[in-house]
Every structure is written in structure tokens, then in C-alpha cells.
Structure 1
Amino acid sequence: MLNITLLGSGGSLPTANRFLTSLLINYDGNKILVDCGEGTQVSMKINKTGFKDIGIICFTHFHADHALGLPGLLLTIANSGRTEPLTIIGPKGCNEVIHGLRVLCPELPYEINIIENTESCENIFSTDDLILSTLNLDHTLPCNGYNFSLKRRAKFDVAKALENKVPKSLWSKLQKGNYIDYEGKTYYPQMVLGDNRQGLKITYITDTRPIDEIISFAENSNLFICEGMYGDDSNLDKALINKHMLFSEAATLAFKSNVKELWLTHFSPSLTDPENYIEQTRNIFKNTKIGTDGMTKILSFT
């Protein structure tokens, strides 16, 4: 199960009714934060997400609206009692930026491990259940898109276990993916497991122009969260200059990627009512939603 909270939906600068774009993913008690502009921890307090269990912070890029909230957040995490290491992932320049921001919070009760990636990576970080992958995007600075893929264990097959004469005392351990040496024989997980089952996938894309690589990267995602800086197609010139996206471009990517649901986010401060453009966007991709601060969703295995 993945619990998703859109902490903010604004781009460029915080406004009276929007925090800056940030996302929190909660799985099995672990939290991943994506981007941390100023005000992010205020949104977290409002949404009562907690701080101590944030183990990974992913940065798309290092424009101020995506990164300036980090020093304060690191101090808040420290005050929450965290002592376990924290991992920060970001594109080219990550090491330099994080070390610079840490001038404001030099002493922390936990270690920070920095992963800087310069190329797209299918597995930049993984746990037993989750795989993080990155895609180089097309923005004015090096920028990462992220996939968060939660694996699902294969279903236990009783008939297969009995056919392979696996002792019942070993069933639960084998189901967890461990092999076991027992009474002179080695037992493997595939001796008790059936076919693999489809997991869950979230794709997060901002800030960028709509490049073809996004289509395969986001393919079949359960939830595609994508920037929609401008709602009106007449703003294409601005999108080209600033390397951002129109609603219609994000919706086209969602359609071509065969995703299940699209959330638009990272709205321009001048876009006061993105709902005005939702119907024309849904003509391209029907299951489009306008992101709002505090929007949540729980993704469960089917």
C-alpha cells in the first residue's frame, strides 16, 4: 500500500492559497519526501504527516522553489528524535547544494547520505519492497523525474509447495524470498510461489518540457503526477522559454503512457483558477485531476 499526500501545488513562489510543489509518500511506516521548497514543513504540520520517519528526500532539481525549505526541515527532523541515517537523492550539483544549505544546520543527530546521479538510472535506490528510478528531464537546470515502484510478492501456491515436498515449517520463510538449507537439502522460494503479481507505481515529473522519454518512463503508472505550469495553450511561448508544460502537454503524456490517473501540479502564480481548463484537458486524458494542497490518495494492491 502507498499513501500519497500532495503537500503543495504551486510553482515559482508560494502564494496565499498554495504551498510550493512537494509530495510525501508513505509506505509501511517509511516516508519519502519529493522536493522541499519554503513552507513545506508548514504543510506537513497542517496535514499531520509527522517528520521522524522521513528516510529519503528526493530532489527534482535545485531551483529555490524546490529546495530552500531543506535546512529548516532537517532541523525539525532532528528535533523529532531521528537518529537513523537519512538519504538525499538529486541530480547533478546535489552534493554542492546540500553541503551549502547545511551551513545553516551543521550539527545533526543523524548522518546524511547523498546520492548524486548525472544519468537516468533504473535503480538509484532500493529496499526489499521499493525501487526508485530516475529520468533526466529537459529543464533550465539538471532535473530528475522519479518512479517509485512498490514490488508485490508472488502469491503462495500450496499445491506447488506440497508437490515439491516442502516442510510446512519452512513455508513462511520461503514466501518472504529467502532460501533455506534444511536437513541436507536447499529449499528455494520458487518451490512455493506462483506467478509474479503486478505491483504499484507512482511517476513524478516536474519541471520539464514534454520529452518522449517520459512516455516509456511513466508507462502504466497507477498515478502520474505531472507539472502543469500553464492552463491556456496560448502560453506555449512561455512554456518553451522557461521549459515548463501546458496542461494539454501533460495530458497527452498521460494518454500516451497509459497511466491510470493524472494529477496536475506546479501551477504558475498567475494561474489563479486551474479548474477553468480541466474540461479541455480531460478531452485528452479523461482521468485528470487538478492538484490541491493536502490532496491524498491510497494505492492498494488489486
Structure 2
Amino acid sequence: MTEIKLTFIGTGDAFGSGGRLSTCFYVKAPDSGFLIDCGASSIPGLKMNGIDIKDIGTILITHFHGDHFGGLPFFLLEAAVCRCEKPITVVSPPGCKEKVTQLLSLLYPGTEVLEKLNISFLEYQPFETIVTGGLKVQAYPVIHSEAAFPHGLRIHIADKIISYSGDTEWTDNLIPLSADADLFICECNFFNLQVRGHMNYQSLKLWLPGLTCKKIILTHFDNEMLNNIDQIDAECAFDGMKVDI
């Protein structure tokens, strides 16, 4: 059986509530390492956890909000400066290469980054499966800001399944997304507050008994959720948390 370890690099919301970093999860298997989302604070988060970017070959992006993909330009800049020769694959909704190129031009004008890397951009469509780097990734549309092209991801690696909701309010697509997954990471931004495009715990707990995932961990907390975390029955992630899958 394959040994897979996941580190929660960042488990906060877009505003860094509670001093938490923005969304980024690092998954390490014997022959590969990859990121699920790469929020704006991902580079310092990876370094605080002793993770070398040269050990990361694939980056999966759920949607185009800064707390989920805003760290990608900095990741690629460091890879270019370090002369990383390892192939890098970015898997995302359509348009990632153009967005990253624009960001690099704004943040570091005149600096060649993508030209120095062995990088590929793969784009998925709703319910499409992408196969790359030992991963099989299926994208499920979810309910969040439409302009950000939001998706949840179901990731097959070796004999394991990791599912991640991305940012979303409840949608029935989360049922097949998480079905029988070894780990389902689910955003739960709020405790009581109802905000379109985000989950709250009072809504989620009504659906928990019907989910068939083997393990669920909640993430992406705002201050209201953090202030009520002792009332949460499900396991809650924190920055630096490590999980064997």
C-alpha cells in the first residue's frame, strides 16, 4: 500500500483570519510531490514546513482567487531563480497561463520567468479528467464566484483518493466528488453566517451523515468559525497539520 502524506500549509480564508496562511496543501507520495492550490502565502508556508519547491512537480488549482492561486507567480519566480530543471505542470481551469503571465508582468516587470522553466499548463473542463505526473484529476463544478471558474477536485494517486471541495456553498456535486474518498477536505468558512459561495457549519452538518468518504477535514476558517471551533464535531485543519492517507 502506497504511503501518502498531506501537509496543510495554509488553512485560512482570504483575510488571514486567526493569523492563518492562505490555502495550500502539500501532498507527498514516494515518487512525487504536488500542491493542491497555491495561495498568496504559500512560499513562506512551504519554507516554514521545510519543503523545497524542487520537490514539487505538479500544482493543482481549483479557482482563480488570490488566496488559492496568488502564490503561483512567486513559486515560479523562485523556481526560475533557482534554475529548477524539473518539469512543472500546472493543472487549472482555462486561462491560467495568461493570468500568471499578466501577474508576473505586473509584479516583476522585465523579469523572464516562464521562459526559463520547463513548464506545462493543462486546462480542465467541468467533469473532465486530467492524467499527469502519476495523478488522475477530475474536476467538479461548485458554487462560488463564477468569474473565478470554481471547481472541486477528486484526485487519484496510486491506490488513494483525495477530494477537495475548493471554495463553495453546499452543492450536490460534493456527494460524488467525495464518494469513498480516503480524505475529503471541505471548506467551511463560517459557523452560522450564510454567505453565497461559501459553506457554513450549520448547513454542512446536515449533509455529513450521508457522505461516504472515509475521513473529512474542514478548512478555510474565518473568525466566526475559529471562535466556535470547540463546537465542531468534525476534524478541523490547522496550519502545519500533517495527515497520513
TM above 0.5: yes
Q: Which residue of 1 aligns with 2:172?
A: 212
1:290 partnered with 2:236: yes
Whether the aligned pair in 2 keeps the contact of 1:56 and 1:86 (CA below 8 Å) is: yes
Match of 1:193 in 2: none
1:156-188 deviation per Cα after TM superposition (whole angstroms, max 9, x unaligned): xxxxxxxxxxxxxxxxxxxxxxxxxxxxxxxxx
Q: Secondary structure at the match of 1:99?
A: helix
TM-aligned CA deviation for residue 81 of structure 1:
4.2
AA partner of residue 136 (structure 2) = I
1:9 aligns to 2:17 (yes or no): no
The equivalent residue for 1:107 is 113
Uncovered stretches (5+) of structure 1, i.e. residues with no partner:
152-198, 283-287
Distance 1:89 1:204 in 2: 14
Partner of 2:139, secondary structure, is: strand
In structure 2, do the counterparts of structure 1 residues 78 and 203 end up closer, same or farther at CA, with 3 Å as the change threshold?
same
Q: CA shift at 1:13, angstroms?
A: 1.9
Q: Counterpart of 1:255 in structure 2: which amino acid?
A: P
CA distance in 2, matches of 1:18, 1:54: 22
1:126 aligned onto 2:149? no
Contact 2:17 2:222 in 1 (8 A): no
Report matched runs for 1:219-238 at 5 Å: 219-232=179-192, 235-236=193-194
CA RMSD of aligned residues (A): 2.0
Report the AA paired with residue 132 of structure 1. V
Partner of residue 273, structure 1: 227
In structure 2, the partner of 1:249 is 203
2:231 partner amino acid:
Y
Measured in 2, the distance between the counterparts of 1:126 and 1:71 equals: 21
2:140 match: 135
* Per-residue CA distance 1:203-233 (angstroms, 9 max, x = gap): 011211211121012101111101001012x
Partners of 2:41 and 2:52 in 1: how far apart? Answer: 15
Contact preservation (8 Å) 2:191, 2:224: no
Counterpart position of 1:117: 124
For the pair shown, which has the larger CA radius of gyration, 1 or 2?
Answer: 1
Aligned residues: 236
User: How much has 1:73 moved relative to structure 2?
Assistant: 1.4
What residue number does 2:26 align with? Answer: 24
Residue matched to 1:42: 44
Report the Cα offset of residue 274 of structure 1: 4.2
Distance 2:228 2:26 in 1: 22
Structure 2 distance, partners of 1:252, 1:146, is 22
- In structure 2, the CA distance between the partners of 1:99 and 1:125, relative to structure 1 (3 Å rule), is farther
5+ long unaligned stretches in structure 2: none
Q: Give the secondary-structure state (helix, strand or coil) at the position aligned to 1:297.
A: strand
State the alpha-carbon separation in 1 of the partners of residues 96 and 104 from structure 2. Answer: 12
